[in-house]
Amino acid sequence: MTTIKDILLFFEKIAPLHLQEPYDNAGLLVGDINAEVKGVLTCLDSTEKIIDEAISLDCNVVIAHHPIIFSGVKQLVGANYIQRTIQKAIKNDIAIIAMHTNLDNVFQNGVNERIAKRLALNNLTFLKPKPEPNKNSSMQAGAGIIGMLSSPMKTKDFLAYLKEKMQVNCVKHTRIIKENVAKIAICGGSGGFLLRDAIKQNADVFITADYKYHEFFDADNQLVIADIGHYESEQFTINLLFELIRDNFSNFALHFTRENTNPVNYL
Per-residue pLDDT, 161: 98
The answer to the question of residue 247 being in a domain is no
Contact yes or no for 183/204 (Cβ under 8 A) = yes
Q: List pLDDT tens digits, range 222-233.
A: 999 999 999 999
Q: Based on the domain organization, do 86 and 135 belong to the same domain?
A: no
Domain around 187: 105-233
Cβ-in-10-Å burial (0-12, 13-18, 19+) of 107 comes to: middle
Could you say which residues of the chain have pLDDT below 50? none
Contact yes or no for 211/231 (Cβ under 8 A) = no
CATH of the domain at 113: 3.40.1390.30
Distance CA 161, CA 82 (A): 36
Q: Based on the domain organization, do 123 and 186 belong to the same domain?
A: yes
Q: List pLDDT tens digits, range 65-77.
A: 999 998 888 889 9
The answer to the question of residue 220 being in a domain is yes
The answer to the question of residue 261 being in a domain is no
Q: Based on the domain organization, do 142 and 223 belong to the same domain?
A: yes
Q: Based on the domain organization, do 140 and 49 belong to the same domain?
A: no
